[in-house]
Structure 1
């Protein structure tokens, strides 16, 4: 049994280790033994908190998706324009390439949201692993559906705010939010599949063009 008072730290270590193992070995290659090794604990501790591999996978997926919302919320300020809010959102859900492979995965809030981090390559690998598994796993589908519905509502609110303040002209905020998120998901998959844009640039410019058109006054 884990030491009293260590539960939040242990759970965080196990979740981080799970995401690390999924990124390194794939969903099928992630085992409880490997997770325990990366979390520097026993397999018994992993089972004590998460019962089995399926539960651990679901909780890791929730933490992976939740990471983005927490980072975005922590950086958006009420004084920002709608465009600036969208920029913050895109910075996290479709980040620019960075060589940060020397850093470790951390989706725990224990040391503050600013300490949370997922390296660029790991983001792509985790995205592919979780979403390919979700095709046949209804529980994973429910988790991603709940997360994305919340994302759509948040983005639509930003577009509505842009309309009110005159920074944007969006006829249907919900549809515009749906289009933006759908493009981000598609562009994310293209990155993982290493399908380059026609002009050879980072494919982020495609979504930036989309947002820029919404910001143009008619």
Structure 2
């Protein structure tokens, strides 16, 4: 967590520099020296405000999560409360377009995803993100399915989002948001048909 008093211009500058360096050399080779050089600051600034590389990595992950939350919340605000299918699509879309689809952001996500397996704080942040996604989905799905069905389908959609996102990030052509939406909507349509016949 950055210390109080960190100049507002410095924090985004360092987060952007961190993602740029991770994009270029990978997480393990993203040294304080390379990041500070990219940001045009001294290594002492990073150590002073973030306590070193790990603190800066945590702040970078938090910023990516904040941006995701802001994007999805803004999209949901634009839609009527009863437009459940549109709202589900807004949640899906928020994971695949804009800031989240930028190459350096996607590569940083991927690096953190693997790194969080062995890092308690990054793992906690990943769990917060997962719970937020499931919560958004379940709110909308409970209007279309019973509680148990909504829970199961929310996990299915979340798994599809993660899987499609991972494949897209590893693909040189990047993430295809429209294809992701088609695949997930196909799954959702099948669930709606299946449960309506019960």
1:79 corresponds to which residue?
80
Unpaired runs of 5+ residues, structure 2, are none
Question: RMSD across aligned C-alpha pairs, in angstroms?
Answer: 2.7
8 Å CA contact 1:152–1:178 kept in 2: the answer is yes
3-state secondary structure, aligned to 2:26: helix
Q: What is the aligned length?
A: 185
Question: Greater helix percent: which structure?
Answer: 2
1:149 corresponds to which residue?
131
In the TM superposition, what are the counterparts of 1:156-167 in structure 2 within 5 Å? 156-160=138-142, 163=143
8 Å CA contact 2:138–2:154 kept in 1: the answer is yes
In the TM superposition, what are the counterparts of 1:1-218 in structure 2 within 5 Å? 7-77=7-77, 79=80, 81-95=83-97, 117-160=99-142, 163=143, 168-169=144-145, 172-194=149-171, 202-216=179-193, 218=196
Question: 2-side partners of 1:151 and 1:51: how far apart?
Answer: 30
- The C-alpha deviation readout for 1:135-156, integer Å capped at 9, x for no partner, is 2222211110122112211211
3-state secondary structure, aligned to 1:76: helix
3-state secondary structure, aligned to 1:188: helix
Question: 2-side partners of 1:131 and 1:148: how far apart?
Answer: 12
Question: 2-side partners of 1:57 and 1:128: how far apart?
Answer: 13
1:51: Cα distance to partner?
1.0
> What's the TM-score once normalised by structure 1's chain length?
0.73
1:67: Cα distance to partner?
1.6
> What's the TM-score once normalised by structure 2's chain length?
0.80
